[in-house]
Structures are given as structure tokens and as C-alpha cells.
């Protein structure tokens, strides 16, 4: 099929051309005296993305799933109890991993389309008088349902309960796209991957660890080898790895970190909110459909999960989009399989690119029998963004690049 595939799954995301070019390098000796410059540059840049002064970033040749395992096995011992909320496929999978690794998991089951329930979390932690719960697992952005949880609120609940548990956060589909503040929120372990907001191919798992969590490695008795924090930190201190690192990905990471810094991290967050709001206008005002996220407080700025009408199979919409229009949309997973399709709007993205996804999704829905007005979603997104542009021009701000949200 002519033309480039329009990739609008919520990861992997589009890799910018300059990042692709940066990865086209000859292989080199990763034990050379020059190599540490690359490693140390990437680690320093990652601290800015995590917004941490005290945390230690660690890069594994893996995916975010590998870093889930690293987080659990480096900080906990077999039989330790953890608390986790389940409200989507990825929060479920982290719970499943913890169970299979031999940890006791207390699960707060939530309606899919909502996020971490703060009041219920507080109640459970207050009831844990003996502090058997050693860690709270929280998924910042649930990709399956397009839901973002309030991690600052989770920390407030933990502090209100005066609970010493570790706060472990999955930020795979949020870091570098949605505001994340490791130090301010006192996050102990944050997990992410290269293929989302960092705009890289998959294959680099990244975890950032607080001093408190890193110190617990000496006491933790869960089996680990490849994912041992100690081995990585010891080697990384001098800029090396305990085993062969993914060289092209490290060069790509250096370039993507430069791009994020050039745009300004706060501007990156505003851009994602601005684009996501346009996508939501297409869904709700244009198509008159609903999001899987149950309320605005849950809306994700990196992915929208769109509920299809009764009698329509979301999987058919996705198949038509791919086969007829060369457009890749995200599928519904587990409980929402066939009920939703997802548009990823994160990473290297602008209005025109996202209009292509909205227009393609419209055509696929019409072909699948969804009763929407042709062009309605595109028009609603255009109206939103054009209104935002006018607001920007009228804004009296010293920062000419600042995006002004509707209603600000």
C-alpha cells in the first residue's frame, strides 16, 4: 500500500526522523574509554524527565514489563504483601506478575474507566496497623481504558495514613507526555519504557529508584539476577553496563532527550493536553460517542479509548482502518475487547497528524456501520484547535510558546 502507515496505537509511537538518524551508527566497543560519555549523558537527562534530584535511573535492555519485575524483586521478599488497584489490563498484568512472583497482593477492584480510588486506598492503609503492606502499586496511566490516576493523591493518602510502604508507579505511557514528579510525590520506584513518550523503538526498559528503595535491595530476598539493581548501579557509576547494552537505543535516547529539552518539558505536557482535548472534542462533540474514561478527572492526555455503539464490534473498526486505510488504531483489551478502539496521541505528534487519525477512524466507523456524520469528528477537532490558536494569539504572556487550555 502506498504511503506510510499511520501509527496511532498508544505505543509503540512514531519515532522522529532525527532520532532514527541518530540510531544509524556503526557498532562500537562498549568497554572503550569513550563509551561512558553516552551512558552518563543519558542518565543525567533521564533525571530531568523523572523530575528527580535524588533518584537513580537505571536502563535495562527490556520492556516496561521487565522493569515491573525489577521493581518487585529488588525491593521485596517472597511473601511480602503489596496493595494494588485494578482498573484496566495493564494494572491487572502487574498484579498478575506480583502474584506469580510469590508476593501476596491485596487487590482493590475498580470499575474499568476509573483510576486509583484515593479514599479506598486510605482506608486500606489505615486498617493495616501492623504495616504488613510493603508496597503500593499504582498505574499512572492505564493505556487500556485511557485513564490517568492522581499519583500525588496516592502519596497524600499514604502520608495521611502514616504508612511506610513504598510507592511504586507504572509510568510507561505517561512519562515524557504527562506531568510526573518523582521527588515531589515521593515516588520510590517508577517504571517506564522507551517506546512511548520517549519516542524510541521498544527495547529499553527504564526504572528510577529512590534512595529508600535502593537501600532495601540489601534486605530483599526475592530471586533476581539479570534485573539486579546493584549490578547495574555499580557498573553505571563509571558509565558502563554489566552486560552488552543496546547501543543504537542509547544513541536514540540521547537524541530524544535533547528534543524534549529543546521543546521544554512543560510545553511538551501542554502540547499533549492540547492535542488530547482536540481528540476528545472529535469523539464527544463530533461523533457523539463516549469515552471509556468515566469522568473528565480520569481523561488521559496520551490515549483515548472510544466506546463503540451497541451492535458494533470495535475490532472490526480497527481491522477496516488497517486494511483499507493503512491506519493502525489500538484494540480493546480483556474486559473492553470489542467494545472500544483506541487512538494514541502521544510522542512526536501535531494537529495535522492527529487529524489524519480522526479522519481515518471516521471512515472506518462508517464502513463498519456506525451512524456518525462524515467529517463531524474532524470538524470538531479543527474547531477546538483553531479556537485554541486564536486564544494563544490573544494571550498576553511572556512565553510565546505557551498553549492556553480552553476556559483558562
Q: Each residue of 310-369: pLDDT tens digit?
A: 999 999 999 999 999 999 999 999 999 999 999 999 999 999 999 999 999 999 999 999
Rounded to two decimals, the pTM is 0.95
Distance CA 167, CA 148 (A): 16
pLDDT at position 390 over 80: no
Angle at 218 between CA 46 and CA 67, to 5 degrees: 40
- Which residues make Cβ contacts (< 8 Å) with residue 335, sequence separation at least 6? 89, 112
Distance CA 377, CA 359 (A): 7
Classify strands 303-307 and 290-291 as parallel, antiparallel or unpaired: antiparallel
> Given this model, what pLDDT does residue 331 score?
97
Closest CA to 331 of 306, 355, 351: 306
**Helix, strand, or coil (residue 193):** strand
**Using one digit for the tens of pLDDT, what is the confidence trace for 140-160?**
999 999 999 999 999 999 999
Q: What are the extents of the domains in the chain? A: 17-261, 264-394
DSSP 109: E
Does the domain formed by 264-394 have CATH 3.90.550.10?
A: no
pLDDT at position 301 over 60: yes
Closest CA to 300 of 150, 134, 161: 150
> Torsions phi, psi of 375, nearest 5?
85, -5
What CATH code is assigned to 17-261? Answer: 3.40.640.10
* Helix or strand holding residue 211 (H, E): helix 211-216
**Using one digit for the tens of pLDDT, what is the confidence trace for 20-65?**
999 999 999 999 999 999 999 999 999 999 999 999 999 999 999 9
Name 106's bridge partners.
83
Dihedral angle sign, alpha carbons of residues 96, 98, 102, 104? negative
Sheet holding 166-170, edge to edge: 56-61, 204-209, 189-193, 166-170, 133-139, 81-86, 104-109
Query: Cell digits for 20?
Result: 532514527
Do domains 17-261 and 264-394 share one topology? The answer is no
Amino acid at each position: 500500500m502506498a504511503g506510510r502507515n499511520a501509527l496511532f496505537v498508544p505505543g509503540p509511537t512514531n519515532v522522529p526522523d532525527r532520532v532514527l538518524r541518530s540510531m544509524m551508527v556503526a557498532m562500537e566497543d562498549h568497554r572503550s574509554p569513550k563509551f561512558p560519555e553516552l551512558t552518563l549523558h543519558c542518565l543525567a537527562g533521564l533525571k530531568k524527565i523523572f523530575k528527580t534530584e535524588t533518584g537513580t535511573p537505571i536502563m535495562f535492555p527490556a520492556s516496561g514489563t521487565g522493569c515491573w519485575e525489577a521493581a518487585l524483586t529488588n525491593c521485596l521478599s517472597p511473601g511480602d504483601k503489596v496493595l494494588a488497584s485494578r482498573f484496566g489490563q495493564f494494572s491487572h498484568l502487574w498484579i498478575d506478575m506480583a502474584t506469580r512472583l510469590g508476593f501476596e497482593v491485596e487487590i482493590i477492584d475498580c470499575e474499568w474507566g476509573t483510576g486509583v480510588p484515593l479514599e479506598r486506598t486510605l482506608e486500606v492503609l489505615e486498617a493495616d496497623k501492623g504495616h504488613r503492606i510493603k508496597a503500593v502499586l499504582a498505574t499512572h496511566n492505564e493505556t487500556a481504558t485511557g485513564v490517568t490516576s492522581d499519583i500525588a493523591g496516592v502519596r497524600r493518602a499514604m502520608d495521611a495514613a502514616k504508612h511506610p510502604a513504598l510507592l511504586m508507579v507504572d509510568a510507561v505511557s505517561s512519562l515524557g507526555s504527562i506531568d510526573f514528579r518523582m521527588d515531589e510525590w515521593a515516588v520510590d520506584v517508577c517504571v517506564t519504557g522507551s517506546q512511548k513518550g520517549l519516542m524510541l523503538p521498544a527495547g529499553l526498559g527504564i526504572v528510577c529508584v529512590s534512595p529508600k528503595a535502593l537501600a532495601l535491595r540489601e534486605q530483599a530476598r526475592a530471586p533476581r539476577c539479570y534485573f539486579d539493581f546493584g549490578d547495574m548501579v555499580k557498573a553505571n557509576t563509571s558509565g558502563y553496563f554489566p552486560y552488552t547494552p543496546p547501543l543504537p537505543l542509547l544513541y536514540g535516547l540521547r537524541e530524544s532527550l535533547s528534543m524534549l529539552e529543546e521543546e521544554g518539558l512543560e510545553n511538551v505536557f501542554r502540547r499533549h493536553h492540547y492535542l488530547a482535548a482536540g481528540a476528545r472534542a472529535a469523539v464527544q462533540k463530533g461523533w457523539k460517542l463516549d469515552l471509556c474514561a468515566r469522568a473528565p478527572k480520569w481523561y488521559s492526555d496520551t490515549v483515548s479509548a472510544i466506546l463503540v455503539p451497541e451492535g458494533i464490534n470495535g475490532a472490526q473498526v480497527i481491522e477496516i482502518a488497517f486494511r483499507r486505510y493503512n491506519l493502525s488504531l489500538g484494540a480493546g483489551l480483556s474486559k473492553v475487547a470489542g467494545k472500544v478502539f483506541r487512538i494514541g496521541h502521544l510522542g512526536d505528534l501535531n494537529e495535522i497528524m492527529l487529524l489524519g487519525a480522526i479522519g481515518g477512524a471516521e471512515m472506518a466507523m462508517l464502513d463498519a456501520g456506525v451512524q456518525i456524520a462524515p467529517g463531524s469528528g474532524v470538524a470538531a477537532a479543527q474547531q477546538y484547535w483553531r479556537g485554541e490558536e486564536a486564544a494563544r494569539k490573544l494571550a498576553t504572556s511572556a512565553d510565546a510558546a505557551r498553549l492556553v487550555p480552553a476556559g483558562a
